[in-house]
Amino acid sequence: MAKQKAVAVIFGNWDESYNELPRWVLGVQLTMPGTVAVLRTCPVRVGAQHDESQAFRHCKPLVSIDGTHLYGKYGGTLLVAIAQDGNSNILPVAFALVEGENAESWSFFLSHLREHVTPQPGLLVISDRHNGIKAALEAPDGGWLPSAAYRGFCIRHVAANFTLTFKGKDARRLLVNAAYAKTEVEFDYWFDILRSENPYCDEGRRFGHMTTNISECVNSILKGVRNLLVCSLVKATYGRLAELFVRKGREAEAQMGTGQQFSQYLVKCIEANLKTARCFTVTVYDRDNSEYTVAETTPTGSFSLGTYRVSLGSQTCDCGYFQALHFPCPRALACCAYSRLTWQPYVHQVYRLSSVFGVYQMGFTPPIPEGFWPPYAGPTVIPDPNMRRAKEGRPRSTRIRTNMDDADPNRPKRCGLCRQPGHTRRSCPQAGRPTGTAGN
């Protein structure tokens, strides 16, 4: 209660913040035409049409979705959709404030995500196995059914649920190894029991993403604002996103000024693969279709490690990495060198600097001052009294804990006051010092 009162003193009234939010959104839409905002009370109001200049068109064709709880005076959940550009930068593309994670709220969020942000066919959605997400993605009119879109499960959540029934670290390790397998033979070797789910056949849609870690990263960044008023939370999220676009845009522009064609992430991967490519012996077995056989040996050339088929025409390799990551593996690079071909045409467009720069080319304009906000004639927005947290007692945690929440036993415990290891808050040498004398 004391924390809620302190937040109210700094940021304003909790209840009035709900009704302030629609006017602030109108101010943002006036500042940045093309901004999509949907306010659903009763009846539903839908915002502007889809803007073809939005950043997601230049990202990898996948999106990671997740929800995180709010901890202010009123409960609720912040739903987020996260993408990634060709330089492995995390990019938030959509947010929604809802009453909780259920089928209705996920349907609301995913339907507008599909309409306004991710209309591309063949999109992959990575999430946990929440029943609300499952119901929303399987809705006949939602636009998320194959072949319009596909779903992939976060392997960390699958492994956490798996170990509840099948105990032991070896079982978990086999499951994770099977999920990360790039070929069907390797998958069958590690865990044949999972064939009914068939997680291997993603046909390269994952771009190497096996978890919802990019969503969890954004959740951790937003942890500090989840205690704020609803309007202050939205303002802080908008401000941090604008700062991200400015910073990453300058980095991409600076890289383009050097004359590079590809992202730093791809250049590092190609350089590492080129070092490995020296251990391959290449022979052509179909020159017309650019198909090769590649024999891998040890660095000394004394032992053979296997033979692979590589097709530059169809951009595939028996190792599975070429088609999974969408840029040449070491074996494909060896084939390019053997035929005196450049490897650049075999790289997916998303890794080009022009695509990375296209993500951040849209500038953010600071919202206009409150006195210039347009008038709002819509319904008065008030918080749901049923979402009000208990007025007395310590709030109960509703989080369902799994082994992902367990602390690392090898990680040293730190003091809650000075964040240094080796002691606790009670025995901290900084405790009791006057303010401003900590560094003396």
Q: Does some domain include residue 123? A: yes
Is the domain of 346 the same as that of 221? no
Is the domain of 7 the same as that of 119? yes
Higher pLDDT, 57 or 411: 57
Q: Does some domain include residue 397? A: no
Single-letter amino acid, residue 53? S
Is the domain of 229 the same as that of 287? no
Distance CA 22, CA 244 (A): 24
Strand duo 90-98 + 77-84: pairing = antiparallel
Q: Which of 351, 383, 405 is the last residue of a domain?
A: 351
Is the domain of 140 the same as that of 98? yes
Single-letter amino acid, residue 407? A
Q: Does some domain include residue 33? A: yes
Percent of the chain with pLDDT over 70: 83
Is the domain of 142 the same as that of 275? no
Is the domain of 249 the same as that of 270? no
Structural domain tally of the chain?
A: 2
Q: Does some domain include residue 185? A: no
Q: Report helix, strand or coil for 264.
A: helix
Per-residue pLDDT tens over the stretch 203-221: 778 887 888 888 888 877 7
**DSSP secondary structure, 164-184, as one string:** HHS-SHHHHHHHHHHHT-SSH
Higher pLDDT, 167 or 24: 24
Q: Which of 342, 372, 402 is the last residue of a domain?
A: 372
- Is the pLDDT reported for residue 304 higher than 80? no
Count CA atoms within 13 Å of residue 244 on its CB side: 15
Per-residue confidence at 268, pLDDT binned at 50, 70, 90?
A: very high
pTM: 0.69
Whole-number pLDDT of residue 299:
66
Residue 431, token pair as written in the block:
């405790």
Is the domain of 103 the same as that of 29? yes
Q: Does some domain include residue 181? A: no
Q: Does some domain include residue 199? A: no
Is the domain of 150 the same as that of 291? no
Per-residue confidence at 406, pLDDT binned at 50, 70, 90?
A: low
Q: What is the mean pLDDT of residues 355-370?
A: 81
Q: Does some domain include residue 240? A: yes
Q: What is the mean pLDDT of residues 234-246?
A: 85
Per-residue pLDDT tens over the stretch 55-103: 788 899 999 999 988 888 888 899 999 999 999 898 888 999 888 889 9
Which range among 44-48, 72-76, 410-414 has the greatest average pLDDT?
72-76
Is the domain of 12 the same as that of 137? yes
Is the domain of 226 the same as that of 322? no
Boundaries of domain holding 228: 2-154+211-254+363-372
Is the domain of 217 the same as that of 324? no
Q: Does some domain include residue 273? A: yes
Contacting residues for 438 by C-beta, under 8 A, at least 6 apart = 418, 430
Cβ count within 10 A of residue 277: 23
Per-residue pLDDT tens over the stretch 332-344: 999 999 989 999 9
Distance CA 94, CA 115 (A): 12
- Is the pLDDT reported for residue 199 higher than 50? no
- Is the pLDDT reported for residue 191 higher than 80? no
- Is the pLDDT reported for residue 196 higher than 50? no
Whole-number pLDDT of residue 46:
36
Whole-number pLDDT of residue 393:
65
Is the domain of 317 the same as that of 244? no
Distance CA 222, CA 90 (A): 14
The angle that helices 155-165 and 169-179 make with each other, rounded to 10 degrees, is 150
Q: Which helix (H) or strand (E) holds 296?
A: strand 291-297
Per-residue confidence at 42, pLDDT binned at 50, 70, 90?
A: very low
